[in-house]
């Protein structure tokens, strides 16, 4: 009996799964090592945020209590009328708010000069004690000129607060009392956090009972003075007192020169995180060792065959497409992969041949496109009597549209053609047309021909014969030839089944009748390359200063946009007129802007138009002057 039936088929998927599990376990161990460092960093951020939050909360409670005392005493001041004794209403108001605000005895002082007070009333059980407080503070009336509220050094009775107010008659008075803070502000905090309140001289006023435990009071006070000198209202810093590291947060109380300072020990805060990091590191190392052992056992057989394929792919990458892989007899995905590799190598041989052929054809197309670009003018014409500019937009690499201009003596010749279809075959016909045009121009210059009919006749006959030969009777080219006399401004136009030529003449004066566009419609002759025909008399038109001439191919009016709509004639006329008025006599600007509007109209279709589009523009400067000839102008559209 064959052993083939009893051979166990182990799926490569299972092998990869085992490998992924082990690698994941190793990655987990690494993650634990890195993750614990992140946990410690997060713990530090949490401690900073917690410390600062506690300090801010305490400062807000203190500021709120001071603000309540201030508001209450300002109201109390308006109830004081007698200079000797408080009124019953004022006494009742004071007693009602005293316990609620945690304030002590109260003196009412009247400034008698900038340096002396007079006690005019008191709400004190011990007036002598309050007078002693006033004397110890050494406050004088001028101290209250710029500040409404002053705070002194804390004493046994609390924190002295003086508030500038007005009595019932609107006269200035000063109310002096002592504020007793709620000790719970500092006591209801974490056991690791120390808080206390200091004045502007870094003297402690109130705080947690063990604030200075293990600290050097002198060094602590010096450090707190640097906090008071900081330009920031709040913040957090690291501070070291001997071998102890602390995170210190501080918050000023804007209304008075007080600051709340909070300290928390780094060693105590990070102790739990460091213990967790140690245990996690041990666990991660254990998992990593186990994963390495498992990966070695299961991956050895798998990686050997993959290595063979890797070497084969390296040979293919270096250009040796004869490299093949032994498929073997194992019944798993690796064997299937080896078979697929061999098929791929065979296919690459075929694709390389096809790619080389495609590259050769693309290179030839690029060469043909570069050659065809030479058929067009390298730049526009800048002449005192006319500016000429043009541009062709190809639908494919090689276009079937073509235009050119040339000057023979006083005559400017502008030719524009459109071969049926587009692509390489059409480009060959344009090459023939350009060759005939170039040869004809050279001969006319040698002959110094000045007769317009002779010029047009030679161009038409030569180009017609060249196109017949190149197209073998299967391809034709519509064309328009305009010859402009630069002295008289007379333009004679010949059309071989081509689109009409438009001449835009801006209206002038208050009376505006008719269309500003003159349409030259001579199209009695068939397209070039179809047959030999007699050349009719060209259409004649008298140009004037400011006129703009438009020659174009049918792509301008036949290409459709994304909605399947072509540009309407009225839209084209309006666009031509607007751009001509804006650009004046700058033919290149008119041509560029009109084609931009055309591309915007096509939208996404502008990237892949249906047909080639060519536009040539001739602009007569507004200061140009011609010797007028006696001719009959073309009709208007």
pLDDT in tens, 175-230: 888 887 765 666 555 567 788 888 777 877 777 767 777 788 888 888 888 888 88
DSSP 251-279: EEETTTTEEEEEEEEHHHHHHHHHHHHHH
Do 181 and 159 share a structural domain? yes
Query: Is the CA virtual torsion 31, 36, 40, 46 positive or negative?
Result: positive
Per-residue pLDDT tens digits for 146-170 = 888 887 776 777 778 888 888 888 8
What integer pLDDT is reported at residue 69 of this predicted model?
86
Residue whose C-alpha is closest to residue 232's, from 111, 481, 52, 72: 52
Q: Which residues pair with 480 in a beta bridge?
A: 416, 495
What integer pLDDT is reported at residue 635 of this predicted model?
35
Element (H, E) at 408: strand 401-408
DSSP 177-205: EEE---THHHHSS-TTEEEEEE-TT--EE
Do 469 and 351 share a structural domain? no
Do 385 and 283 share a structural domain? no
Per-residue pLDDT tens digits for 111-135 = 888 888 888 777 777 778 888 888 8
What integer pLDDT is reported at residue 118 of this predicted model?
82
Per-residue pLDDT tens digits for 505-517 = 987 755 556 789 9
- Residue in the block written with tokens 């007699």: 534
Do 354 and 300 share a structural domain? no
Is residue 293 included in any domain, yes or no?
yes
Q: Which of 72-86, 176-190, 394-408, 428-442 has the lowest mean pLDDT?
A: 176-190
Is residue 629 included in any domain, yes or no?
no
Do 206 and 195 share a structural domain? yes
Do 443 and 301 share a structural domain? no
Is residue 624 included in any domain, yes or no?
no
Do 302 and 403 share a structural domain? no
CA distance 163 to 106: 11
pTM of the model: 0.48
What integer pLDDT is reported at residue 1 of this predicted model?
46
HSE of 365, CA atoms in CB hemisphere, 13 A: 14
CATH number of the structural domain spanning residue 403: 3.60.40.10
Per-residue pLDDT tens digits for 237-267 = 888 887 788 888 888 887 777 888 888 877 7
Does residue 621 contact residue 545 with C-beta atoms inside 8 Å?
yes
DSSP state of 162: E
DSSP state of 242: T
The answer, yes or no, to whether residue 388 has pLDDT greater than 90, is yes
What integer pLDDT is reported at residue 349 of this predicted model?
73
Burial of 188 (0-12, 13-18, 19+ CB in 10 A): exposed
Is residue 577 included in any domain, yes or no?
yes
Do 499 and 358 share a structural domain? no
pLDDT band at 43 (very low <50, low <70, confident <90, very high): low
Is residue 632 included in any domain, yes or no?
no
Per-residue pLDDT tens digits for 551-604 = 999 889 989 998 989 999 999 999 999 999 999 889 999 999 999 999 999 998
DSSP state of 210: T
Provide the residue range defining the domain that includes 339. 324-373
Is residue 626 included in any domain, yes or no?
no
Is residue 448 included in any domain, yes or no?
yes
Is residue 405 included in any domain, yes or no?
yes
Query: Is the CA virtual torsion 229, 230, 233, 235 positive or negative?
Result: negative
C-alpha torsion 99→100→101→103, nearest 10: 0
Do 606 and 581 share a structural domain? yes
Contacts (Cβ under 8 Å, ≥6 apart) of 474: none
Q: What domain count does the chain have?
A: 3
The answer, yes or no, to whether residue 616 has pLDDT greater than 50, is yes
Do 580 and 465 share a structural domain? yes
Do 496 and 367 share a structural domain? no
Rg (CA), the chain: 50
Angle subtended at Cα 195 by Cα 189 and Cα 200, rounded to the nearest 5 degrees? 150
Do 477 and 597 share a structural domain? yes
């Amino acid at each position: 009996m064959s052993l083939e039936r009893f051979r166990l088929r182990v799926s490569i998927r299972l092998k990869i799964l085992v490998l992924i599990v082990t690698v994941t376990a190793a990655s987990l161990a690494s993650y634990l090592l890195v993750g614990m460092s992140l946990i410690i960093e997060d713990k530090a951020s949490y401690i900073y945020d917690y410390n600062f939050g506690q300090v801010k909360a305490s400062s807000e409670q203190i500021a709120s209590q001071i603000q309540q005392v201030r508001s209450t005493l300002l109201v109390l001041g308006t109830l004081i009328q007698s200079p000797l004794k408080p009124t019953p209403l004022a006494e009742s108001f004071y007693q009602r708010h005293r316990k609620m605000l945690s304030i002590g005895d109260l003196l009412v002082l009247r400034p008698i000069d900038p340096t002396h007070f007079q006690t005019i009333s008191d709400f004190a059980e011990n007036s002598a004690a309050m007078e002693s407080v006033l004397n110890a503070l050494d406050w004088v009336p001028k101290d209250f000129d710029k500040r409404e509220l002053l705070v002194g050094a804390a004493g046994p009775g609390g924190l002295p607060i003086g508030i500038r107010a007005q009595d019932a008659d609107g006269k200035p008075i000063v109310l002096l009392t002592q504020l007793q803070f709620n000790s719970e502000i500092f006591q209801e905090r974490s056991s690791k956090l120390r808080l206390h309140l200091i004045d502007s001289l870094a003297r402690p006023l109130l705080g947690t009972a063990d604030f200075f435990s293990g600290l050097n009071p002198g060094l602590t006070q010096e450090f707190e003075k640097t906090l008071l000198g900081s330009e920031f209202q709040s913040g957090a810093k690291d501070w070291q007192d001997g071998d102890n590291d602390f995170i210190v947060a501080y918050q000023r109380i804007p209304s008075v020169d007080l600051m709340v300072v909070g300290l928390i020990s780094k060693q105590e805060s990070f102790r739990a995180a460091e213990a967790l990091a140690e245990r996690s590191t041990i666990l991660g190392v254990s998992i990593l060792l186990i994963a390495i052992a498992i990966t070695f056992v299961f991956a050895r057989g798998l990686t050997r065959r993959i290595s063979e394929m890797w070497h084969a792919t390296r040979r293919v990458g270096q250009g040796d497409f004869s490299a093949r892989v032994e498929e073997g007899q194992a019944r798993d995905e690796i064997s299937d992969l080896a078979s697929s590799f061999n098929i791929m190598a065979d296919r690459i041989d075929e694709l390389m041949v096809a790619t080389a052929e495609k590259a050769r054809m693309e290179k030839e197309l690029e060469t043909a496109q570069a050659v065809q670009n030479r058929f067009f003018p390298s730049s526009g014409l800048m002449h005192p009597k006319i500016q000429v500019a043009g541009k062709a937009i190809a639908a494919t690499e090689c276009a079937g549209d073509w235009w050119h201009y040339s000057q023979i003596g006083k005559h400017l010749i502008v030719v524009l053609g459109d071969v049926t279809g587009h692509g390489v075959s059409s480009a060959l016909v344009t090459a023939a047309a350009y060759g005939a045009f170039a040869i004809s121009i050279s001969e006319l210059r040698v002959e110094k021909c000045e007769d317009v009919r002779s010029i047009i006749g030679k161009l038409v006959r030569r180009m017609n014969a060249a196109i017949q030969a190149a197209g073998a009777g299967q391809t034709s080219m519509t064309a328009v030839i305009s010859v402009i006399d630069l002295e008289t401004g007379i333009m004679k136009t010949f059309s071989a089944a081509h689109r009409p030529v438009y001449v835009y003449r801006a209206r002038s004066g208050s009376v505006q009748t008719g269309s500003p566009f003159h349409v030259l419609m001579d199209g009695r002759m068939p397209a070039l390359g179809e047959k030999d025909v007699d050349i009719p008399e060209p259409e004649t038109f008298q140009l004037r200063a400011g006129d703009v001439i438009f020659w174009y191919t049918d792509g301008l009016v036949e290409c459709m946009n994304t909605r399947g709509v072509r540009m309407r004639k009225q839209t084209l006329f309006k666009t031509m007129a607007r751009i001509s008025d804006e650009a004046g006599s700058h033919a290149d600007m008119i041509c560029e802007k009109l084609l931009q509007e055309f591309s915007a109209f096509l939208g996404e279709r502008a990237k892949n138009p249906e047909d080639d589009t060519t536009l040539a523009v001739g602009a007569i400067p507004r200061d140009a002057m011609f010797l007028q000839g006696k001719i009959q102008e073309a009709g208007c559209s």
